[in-house]
Chain A
């Protein structure tokens, strides 16, 4: 993975010292909360319902065991012993004290981590495919481009005060695991007609209260022009994005207002001036960054095939885990292992300090000391020997991290909701708990198959409800929590926004409604047809009837 050199390290150290001075000025009263707010937000520090929340960047979801141990240490010493992984592949602590933050940032800097731009109206942590560099279906490793883009946007002087926050995602595979169509900018690598790799550039996607699927602004962009083209898009947005209404300030509103043709024209005009300038990426820079992502020292192995099948037959539980949590690796004899943070014993995405330490040890033992965070709030070991899968499964099971549910109904995306968040209208964690209970039976869960359920506690859609196959949105109805449902959303390569089912359900009825939807699907599906395909085939009618009856 990428390692800081003295330039990266100096910048992060200087940022820690800058924020230390700012916190001191806040604590001695020189700055009031209003003046301090923009400063803390640039460092990922939010004021939540009960305490400060600190959001730590995990660039494109790549984490080392050493970094995870530091996060465990911070959780133990400065927080209540746990952390929460987010849909931007980041980690949040919910109970940090303001006076401790400079020391927390200093501890993070020691392991090449920081909170710069993890909040605020600026370019946020770039996200990517959690299988990057390992997936069989990949054209090129997106982490190389992510790192080049990360450096470009870090403390970018022109784009620190954008109209609104700005999110970029990159996929190097045709099978999109990074939800690039619902980002402000999505980059999808593909080959042009001469077989050269480049990026389809998608702009103006997003969720929140006005969800949009992004539009293609450019079919194919040569890799060397990536930064200048991003800069052209950002400049047009910085100059012309709305600043009078925060609900209309995202780039999707500008793209929609101008129309993609006119927006494309403005970006092209800007790009003409800068495309061959200082942002042009030379081959030697690609080579330099590429070297950081060289494959680890794999052993020469064969795929296990038969032997593994034999192991699977011995234990149903292991077999189920292999089915849902283990993915194909591009190198023979290796596999990708997903660690589920969606067990019955925890809020989705939470990990305790002890679990973090244990996971770090397992990463060292089984996966070259590295792991990934995915945008569905799980962890991934990307380099596990197939011959060690059974052993690793046993150890993960002992930690409660081997629930065989990746991509299935109980692998929910869930925002912190009203239990923590000052913006929320309703709780989301208890709803996730109730749904988890309904799908505890592994056989049933696996019989249902691929199904994403995404829960947000308010219209800001941090829980990605618009793009859940089943989306659940918490609203406040005269002081009571209600849950509206959408069906048919997806954030993969054929992204779509969900359709509203009708009136919402109370907190007591929400999990039952999910069950009704699932049972309806099981009744009408064709053999082997996933939920999304069934919904796209049969439409809303049977679900509506099951949920609300006929009138």
Chain B
């Protein structure tokens, strides 16, 4: 697997323990929702970074109060057509104020990258046979967006009104 984070190839420092019975002795670890619920206290006592994997039918509302414990939240795409995690990502960023790494895992297509960026993902776990060079640039295929999301990019509408106000101001 290959990890692209913030537009560059990156090392994955999280050990994937999701669904496993044993947690690694030390180091950053990725766990599933059931594990988090069951081992929350020991996980917190380890004092290491914690990542949480949510499956496509696990609404992040379940951990809304806990998001500050996680350095990483990974959202699963069981198939590229399953678009639920686009909504989850926005809720995590915009409503639950998650500021850590938000990672797309599973069946993720190059052409979906620009959408994923906009809803708040900043890292992508990819099959290393994918054309990784193209992944680095795919998020820049579009420069115009109509929808306000938490990625902070100005929308076309905002830019239009900002420009009109500038013009008006310079006319005075």
The answer to whether A161 touches B161, judged by C-beta atoms less than 8 angstroms apart, is: no
Chain B nearest CB, measured from A190 CB (Å): 27
The answer to whether A155 touches B142, judged by C-beta atoms less than 8 angstroms apart, is: yes
CA distance A278 to B151 in the complex (A): 13
Q: Which residues of chain B from 134 to 172 have any CB-CB distance to chain A below 8 Å in the complex?
A: 141-149, 156-157, 159-161, 164
Quick check: is A261 within 8 A (CB to CB) of the other chain? no
The answer to whether B145 touches A159, judged by C-beta atoms less than 8 angstroms apart, is: no
Chain B contacts for A284, CB-based, 8 A:
161
Chain A contacts for B114, CB-based, 8 A:
155, 157
CA distance A14 to B59 in the complex (A): 34
Quick check: is A11 within 8 A (CB to CB) of the other chain? yes
The answer to whether A152 touches B142, judged by C-beta atoms less than 8 angstroms apart, is: no
Closest chain A residue, CB of each to CB of B89: A158
Of the listed stretches B6-14, B17-25, B47-55, B77-85, chain A binds: B77-85
The answer to whether A158 touches B86, judged by C-beta atoms less than 8 angstroms apart, is: yes
The answer to whether A159 touches B148, judged by C-beta atoms less than 8 angstroms apart, is: no
Closest chain B residue, CB of each to CB of A282: B161
Q: Which residues of chain B from 34 to 83 have any CB-CB distance to chain A below 8 Å in the complex?
A: 59, 80-83
The answer to whether B90 touches A239, judged by C-beta atoms less than 8 angstroms apart, is: no
Quick check: is A18 within 8 A (CB to CB) of the other chain? yes
Contact of B156 among A8, A157, A160, A235 (CB under 8 A): A8
CA distance A355 to B40 in the complex (A): 71
Chain A contacts for B83, CB-based, 8 A:
121, 158-163, 238
Quick check: is A10 within 8 A (CB to CB) of the other chain? yes
Chain B nearest CB, measured from A457 CB (Å): 26
Closest chain B residue, CB of each to CB of A42: B111
CA distance A17 to B143 in the complex (A): 13
Quick check: is A221 within 8 A (CB to CB) of the other chain? no
Interface size classification for chain A? 35 or more
Quick check: is B3 within 8 A (CB to CB) of the other chain? no
Chain A nearest CB, measured from B98 CB (Å): 15
CA distance A5 to B147 in the complex (A): 17
Quick check: is A352 within 8 A (CB to CB) of the other chain? no
Q: Which residues of chain A from 29 to 88 have any CB-CB distance to chain B below 8 Å in the complex?
A: 30, 35, 38-39, 42
Closest chain A residue, CB of each to CB of B155: A278
Chain B contacts for A121, CB-based, 8 A:
81, 83
Quick check: is B119 within 8 A (CB to CB) of the other chain? yes
Quick check: is B97 within 8 A (CB to CB) of the other chain? no
Quick check: is A154 within 8 A (CB to CB) of the other chain? yes
The answer to whether A152 touches B80, judged by C-beta atoms less than 8 angstroms apart, is: no
Chain A contacts for B161, CB-based, 8 A:
282, 284-285, 288
- Bitwise interface map of A from 247 to 291 toward B, beta carbon under 8 Å scored 1, else 0: 000000000000000000000000001000111001011001000
Closest chain B residue, CB of each to CB of A9: B144
- Bitwise interface map of A from 149 to 179 toward B, beta carbon under 8 Å scored 1, else 0: 0011011111111110000000000000000
Chain A contacts for B156, CB-based, 8 A:
7-8, 11, 151
CA distance A500 to B90 in the complex (A): 46
Chain A nearest CB, measured from B111 CB (Å): 6
Closest chain B residue, CB of each to CB of A150: B146
- Bitwise interface map of B from 92 to 125 toward A, beta carbon under 8 Å scored 1, else 0: 0001000000000000010110111111000000
Chain A contacts for B59, CB-based, 8 A:
239
Quick check: is A22 within 8 A (CB to CB) of the other chain? yes
Can you list 23 A-B pairs, Cβ within 8 angstroms, ordered by A? A8-B144, A11-B142, A11-B143, A11-B144, A14-B142, A22-B111, A38-B109, A39-B111, A121-B83, A151-B156, A155-B115, A155-B142, A157-B116, A157-B117, A158-B87, A158-B149, A159-B86, A160-B112, A160-B115, A161-B112, A238-B84, A243-B81, A285-B157
List B residues at the A interface (Cβ < 8 Å).
59, 80-84, 86-87, 90, 95, 109, 111-112, 114-119, 131, 141-149, 156-157, 159-161, 164
List A residues at the B interface (Cβ < 8 Å).
5, 7-8, 10-11, 14-15, 17-18, 22, 30, 35, 38-39, 42, 121, 151-152, 154-163, 235, 238-239, 243, 273, 277-279, 282, 284-285, 288
